Amino acid sequence: MAATRRPVRLSRWSMCLAWSSSGSPPKPAASRCPSNSFFAMTSLVRLFALLVATATLASAANWRVTVPAAEVDRAAVVVSFPMPAAASRNAIVNGRAGTFSVQVDDGGTARFVLPHIKAGESPVLTLRPVDFYSTDVASVAADGRVKLTVRGKPVLDYWTREEPLPNDRVDKKFLRSGHIHPVHSPAGTVITGSYPADHLHHHGIWAPWTKTQFQGRAPDFWNMGQLTGKVEFAELVRIWSGPVHGGWVAMQRQIDLSAPSPVTALNETWEVTVYEVTATVTPMRVFDLVITQTCATPDPLILPEYRYGGLGFRGHDGWNGKDNATFLTSEGETDRVKGNTSRARWVHIGGRSDGALAGVGILGHPENFRAPEPLRLHPTEPFVCFAPSQLGEFRIEPGKPHVMRYRFVVTDGPADGALLEACWQAYAKPAVATLSAE
């Protein structure tokens, strides 16, 4: 329903302001705004028109939202725009593309997700108020985890306490927190593995550094069994749910255990945002991970050239073995041996768990350090790592945050290269819509 318009009254003070804006010198109050002045009337008409236009815009119930075109197909397009102050925070957009929920953050930025935009298309939708607010994407902290669901179905868990060991025979030195596991496909298939027997330090989605130099020592934050370094959850900063997205921000630490007493080398934040993507031909789960690492001391963390370290993904145990996992890179490579050390915008890994075929495309952001980043594809295990250290030594310096950004696209069935490329295009070049009053 359109907001009720209030009558606009022009006070004597408003009239005098109109007169003053014409550039005429001030006059005594009794004669400052003579009614017989053509110029005063012109200014008055202009002011009145401006006030009416402003009142109309402020009371408008609907706005036109135009999504800019691109030269390529895009999928899972997260569209943002500044929500007008006068607009309802409970809103939808609808048009020929369909009807989609809108979510507004604390800064006033609104977002919705379009399933697909063809090359050259510029969708136009109408922003409309609604009298309800849903939490289709729910983020709940409980039992030492943050659990994300979409319409009640599990998407992923993030461990805020140490994930229990698989059995009593595993040494407690492998206990770990601050990672994502399990991750579920739209059909509910678990696609990640944790504490696999061949690599007990692998945990779903995690991001420690391996070969390092810090304060003259060489802590290894990846291979925890060596007891020279580890990663741990520190604090849950923020958590949210909504009709379009939900997620959390957490703080973690990469701790040097090789020092006389443990010392934190890096502080890092993990921001995870899970989106609901509707009306797609291929059902998908889409979530973003942004990792920001900062030095915890005045000393840098030096990362010599090495074959792996950084963002890692471990697939389900059913994918283990050289013939049980499939790979596809943005460059069309399906051979995991040939794909190893290659650079790619995205990589897909998949396989069967409990008989069901599913997988995930991991999309690297073009602003990542050394993008497109080199890949570590294991020859026999269901393991993928984006490893910028393959291209030579670099440093994380005090006062210079190191940021890593990735989008995950989880689907059932085999890899779809065209779909993943369209998802990467939407991720790499975010869609910012323009707004106009209807």
How far is it, in rounded angstroms, from Cα 428 to Cα 75?
11
Taking alpha carbons only, the member of 381, 376, 393, 391 closest to residue 309 is 376
pLDDT digits (tens, 9 = 90+) for 184-213: 999 999 999 999 999 999 999 999 999 999
| Alpha carbons 332 and 358: distance in angstroms, whole number | 19
Q: How far is CA 236 from CA 48, 161, 177, in A?
A: 52, 11, 12
Residue-wise pLDDT for 51-102, tens only, equals 333 333 344 468 999 999 999 999 999 999 999 988 889 999 999 999 999 9
State how far the Cα of 122 lies from the Cα of 110, in Å rounded to an integer. 18
Host H or E run for residue 422: helix 417-428
Name the residue among 163, 156, 167, 112 with its Cα closest to residue 134.
Answer: 112
C-alpha of 79 from chain center: 12
Query: Which residue, among 124, 127, 123, 155, has the nearest Cα to 139 in the 3D structure?
Result: 155
Q: Which helix (H) or strand (E) holds 82?
A: strand 74-82
Q: Give the architecture-level CATH label for domain 137-414.
A: Distorted Sandwich (2.70)
> Could you write out the three-class secondary structure of 91-120?
EEEEECCEEEEEEECCCCEEEEEEEEECCC
Q: Taking the domains of the chain in order of start, what are their residue ranges?
A: 13-21+35-59, 63-131, 137-414
Q: Is residue 166's pLDDT more than 50?
A: yes
Tokens of 236: 């849950």
Question: 346-353 and 325-329: which strand pairing?
Answer: antiparallel
pLDDT of 86 reads 86
With bands split at pLDDT 50, 70 and 90, how would you rate the model's confidence at 132? confident
Beta bridge partners of 294: 267
pLDDT of 407 strictly over 60: yes
pLDDT confidence bin for 437, thresholds 50/70/90: confident
pLDDT (average), residues 344-358 = 96
Start-to-end CA span in the chain (Å)? 14
DSSP H helices, 60-178, are none
pLDDT surpasses 50 at 244? yes
pLDDT tens per residue across span 89-122 = 999 999 999 999 999 999 999 999 999 999 999 9
Distance of CA 13 to the CA centre of its chain: 50
Name the DSSP class of 330.
Answer: T
Lowest mean pLDDT among 27-36, 303-312, 389-398, 405-414: 27-36
Instruction: Give the pLDDT band of residue 5 (cuts 50, 70, 90).
Output: very low
3-state secondary structure of 89: coil
> Who contacts 343 (Cβ-Cβ below 8 Å, separation ≥6)?
372, 373, 374, 375
Q: Angle at Cα 389 formed by Cα 388 and Cα 390, nearest 5°?
A: 90
Cα separation, 184 vs 57, in Å, equals: 45
Tokens of 353: 């768990």
pLDDT at 61: 61
* Contacting residues for 88 by C-beta, under 8 A, at least 6 apart: 129, 130
Is pLDDT above 70 for 401? yes
Q: Give the position of tokens 């595993």.
A: 170
Distance CA 282, CA 46 (A): 54
pLDDT score at 62: 80
pLDDT at 79: 98
- Whole-number pLDDT of residue 152: 97
Mean pLDDT for the stretch of residues 360-388: 98
Which pLDDT band holds residue 398 (cuts at 50, 70, 90)? very high
Which residues partner with 362 through β-bridges?
Answer: 347, 408
